[in-house]
């Protein structure tokens, strides 16, 4: 086999990004149900979505950096 560079695999970061987007949709659904009065459950959805978004960006950055 030749030493050709591997293509980066962003599968896990895209998976986490999709879950984060679904979490943001849940947050807006919970927030608008109460006329945008945020309760604890809405805050948990928002914080969890941001954590998953940050994790997905970190994994994509790490995969890209590993390729260089």
d(C-alpha 60, C-alpha 50), whole Å: 15
Q: What is the pLDDT of residue 17?
A: 93
Which range marks the domain in which residue 61 is found?
A: 12-67
Q: Could you report the per-residue pLDDT of 19-63, keeping only the tens digit for each?
A: 999 999 999 998 888 788 888 988 999 999 999 999 999 999 998
Question: When comparing pLDDT for 68 and 9, which is higher?
Answer: 9
Distance of CA 60 to the CA centre of its chain: 10
Reference 29, options 18, 38, 17; nearest CA is 38
Q: Is residue 50 part of a domain?
A: yes
Q: Is residue 2 part of a domain?
A: no
Q: Is residue 7 part of a domain?
A: no
Beta carbons of 30 and 45 less than 8 angstroms apart: yes
Q: Is residue 51 part of a domain?
A: yes
Residue 1 has pLDDT above 50, yes or no: no
Q: What is the pLDDT of residue 2?
A: 53
**b/e for 19-40, b at 16 or more Cβ within 10 A?**
bbeebbebbeebbeeeeeeeee
Predicted structure pTM score: 0.77
Residue identified by tokens 């927030």 is 31
């Amino acid at each position: 086999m030749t030493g050709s560079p591997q293509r980066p695999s962003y599968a896990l970061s895209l998976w986490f990004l999709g879950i984060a987007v679904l979490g943001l949709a849940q947050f807006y659904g919970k927030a608008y149900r109460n006329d945008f009065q945020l309760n604890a459950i809405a805050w948990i959805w928002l914080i969890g979505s941001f954590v998953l978004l940050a994790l997905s960006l970190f994994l994509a950055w790490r995969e890209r950096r590993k390729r260089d």
